[in-house]
Structure 1
Amino acid sequence: MLALTKHFFTRFPPGIIVAISLLFILWLQWALKTDNFSQLVFSHGGFILLGVIGAIFANSSGAGGGVIFIPAFSALAFSPQEAISTSFLIQCFGMTAGSLTWIHYYRKQHHKNREWHGFVPFVLCCALFSIAGLWFSHINHFTAPVSLHLSFSLFSISLGLVIIFNSLRSINQTRQPTKKHLIIDGLALSGVSFIGGIITAWLSVGVGEIIVIYLMLRGYCTKLSIATGVVVSAITVWSATPITLSEQSLANFEVLLFAGPGALIGGLIAKRIALLFSVTKLKLFFSFWIIFTGSVMLVIN
């Protein structure tokens, strides 16, 4: 067991180990201060698995963990506000771990790769406008035009169909971005991310999926697209913590106590899972899953 643990941690650079260790220490302090922790282990321990599954999917596809958490919480009869706030906070664990592994992958293997030249500017641009969209929605009290169930379902099914169409349309050819491409797509992504930030404020998912789809449709490397969506989603959910951790927050912290560390584990291994599959399989996996979750939400509703 000790040898297995040592092998696991040597697979990650010191920076990631330090960041994950700090998150774990914060969680441990929280757990020790929880009076009924031993009872919660039996009643809420299963949420660890939910966190692992949600983070694996989120960080291997570019979608936010909400595509797993929102249907699960809806099935558990959480209110829309409780489901969204809890999903946001769980993603702070999972998307952070996942984004750190994708950033390490970029720096180690693709830092000088021309296909990945847009990674850093796209992340910075998308994150800025995604945060702006999320807070614009919050400050102006924008709400989804229809219920959470229907909004999530229609959003998921529509995006899934777009990806399937793109995957089957032609043979995948990765774009070699020029300076002109980066400028044009950066400007387009600004608007896309602002809208994605608004949708994320409503559903706890949105900006990551929209970014991934846009970059895929524009012919960029699929793994670059996923990495960009993951990092931007991580930054976006952290920007919402003044809301999700406020006194008015309806987040279920007992669920977070167990789903959070599960998401941390899932986020660490998700990138390795993504690299096992071909570009087309990743696209189809991503699309079929979000169509499935959207359809399940329609049935639940």
Structure 2
Amino acid sequence: MVVSLILLLVGIFAGVSGSIVGLGGGFIVVPVLSLMFPEMIPAHIVGTSMAMLFFNSISSTVVYAKQKRIDYNAAVWFAVAAIPGSVIGAFASVHIAGKVFFTSFGIFLILVSLFLVFKPKKQIQLPLKPTVHRSFIDASGSKFEYAYNRTIGVSISFLVGFLSSLFGVGGGSLMVPTMALLLSFPPHIAIATSMFNIFLSAIVSGGTHWFLDNIDWMKVLFLSPGAIIGGQIGARLAKRLPAKTILRILSIVLIIVALRLIFQN
């Protein structure tokens, strides 16, 4: 009973924190499961986390859809690239490598987080010109205008899909900074679009982990209600936070994820 309650609370916390910054709650669930259930092998921890991410992402997506802050066109293109990567990542998780891979990815996330904190005021100017121009108004009447290069977004999405399914931490840790800093997405749009993208990828990734029998459904049974509740709360909180605050929160979250990976057992 106590364990079930803890899993429910973990799901709520993961849902809130993951939805605020568009990462999904896997970066909370994976280390907690590792600590609470040392007998679980990495593949089962990752598969269970991905199943939880499905419920977290669909809950958040419903709220962001009502806010009209999801760039569906971009999300679908990115998901088309991320889905093959997520399938490969799920199969690779069964043979997940050791500390070198975790440490390398962790160091990368720390570099990204530091860049978010000390990032230049202007967007990074890439040699490739924007290929897509977007302009729309959200439910509150705020207008968003931006342009991005679809080729870069699609290319990075494949890697994001692979890593998210491999580690079970959600692809937002790479996709949100990519959209905000390299593709010129407004932070609020980047987060909402990322959660919808996670939802699309989680369907395939979670299904693959299910096929591989990597999911502990009893744990998902208690994690998912919390993730659904947390996803609703987090998405609503994100709407009230300034863009700069969101990026600062994101940088802190990335450091937490990085430390989790670096000190992975």
Q: Same fold (TM over 0.5)?
A: yes
Asked whether 1:120 is paired with 2:80, we answer: no
Q: In structure 2, how many angstroms separate the alpha carbons of the residues matched to 1:297 and 1:178?
A: 34
Judging changes above 3 Å, is the alpha-carbon distance between structure 1 residues 207 and 141 closer, same or farther for their aligned structure 2 residues? closer
* Structure with more of its chain in strand, by fraction: 2
Cα deviation digits, residues 23-60 of structure 1 (max 9, x gap): xxxxxxxxxxxxxxxxxx34322111100111111111
* Native 8 Å contact 2:131 2:150 kept in 1: no
C-alpha spacing 1:137/1:91, structure 2 compared with 1 (3 Å): closer
Contact residue 8 and residue 226 of structure 2 kept, 8 A: yes
Q: Is 2:236 the partner of 1:272?
A: yes
Task: Using the TM superposition, give the Cα deviation of residue 74 of structure 1 relative to its aligned residue in structure 2, in angstroms.
Answer: 2.0
Could you say which residue in structure 1 is the equivalent of 2:56? 94
Q: 1:234 to 1:206 in 2, by over 3 A?
A: same
The CA distance in 2 between the partners of 1:145 and 1:254, in whole Å, is 27
1:157 aligns with 2:110: yes
RMSD, aligned α-carbons: 2.8
Mapped partners of 1:160, 1:181: distance in 2 = 27
Distance (Å, rounded) in 2 between the aligned partners of 1:207 and 1:86: 16
Look up the match of 2:162.
198
Distance 1:178 1:288 in 2: 30
Q: Which letter maps to 1:54?
A: A
Counterpart for residue 34 of structure 2: 74
Alignment partner of 1:44 is 2:4: yes
CA distance in structure 2 between the partners assigned to 1:261 and 1:139 by the alignment: 27
Kindly state the Cα deviation for residue 82 of structure 1 after the two structures are TM-superposed.
Answer: 1.5
Output the TM-score relative to the length of structure 1.
0.72
Structure 2 CA distance for aligned equivalents of residues 85 and 155 of structure 1: 23
Q: 1:252 to 1:136 in 2, by over 3 A?
A: closer
CA distance, structure 1, for counterparts of residue 256 and residue 177 of structure 2: 17
SS at structure 2 position matched to 1:45: helix
Structure 1 CA distance for aligned equivalents of residues 92 and 60 of structure 2: 31
Paired residue secondary structure (1:219): coil
Equivalences for residues 165-244 of structure 1 within 5 A: 165-166=118-119, 169-170=120-121, 180-181=132-133, 185-217=149-181, 218-244=183-209
Deviation at 1:161, TM superposition (A): 2.2
- 2:67 aligned counterpart, secondary structure: helix
Q: Which residue is 1:56 aligned to? A: 16
Cα distance per residue 1:134-192 (max 9 Å; x no partner): 124456889555447536633532332232232xx2278xxxx9765568522211101
Counterpart-to-counterpart distance in 2, 1:289 and 1:136: 26
Amino acid at match of 1:223: H
Contact 1:212 1:229 in 2 (8 A): yes
Give the Cα–Cα distance (whole angstroms) in 2 for the partners of residues 244 and 144 of structure 1. Answer: 14
The aligned counterpart of 2:144 is: none
- Could you tell me the TM-score, scaled by structure 2's length? 0.81
d(CA) in 1 for partners of 2:253, 2:193 = 20
Does 1 or 2 have the higher relative contact order (CA < 8 Å, sep 6+)? 2
Contact 2:130 2:150 in 1 (8 A): no
Give the Cα separation in 1 of the matches to 2:103 and 2:92: 22
CA–CA separation in structure 2 for the residues paired with 1:75 and 1:141: 19
One-letter amino acid matched to 1:150: T
- Which residue identity lines up with residue 267 of structure 1 in the other structure? G
Which of 121, 127, 133 pairs up with 2:85? 133
- In the TM superposition, residue 133 of structure 1 has moved relative to its aligned partner by 1.4
Unaligned runs of 5+ in 1: 1-40, 111-115
Q: Is the 8 A contact 2:103 2:262 kept in 1?
A: yes
Which residue of structure 2 lines up, in the alignment, with residue 34 of structure 1?
none
Q: Give the conservation status (yes or no) of the 8 Å contact 1:209–1:229.
A: no
Structure 2: 5+ residue stretches without partners:
124-128, 135-146
Distance 1:93 1:266 in 2: 10
Residues 96 and 299 of structure 1, relative CA distance in 2, 3 Å threshold: same
Check the 8 A contact 2:42/2:96 in 1, yes or no: no
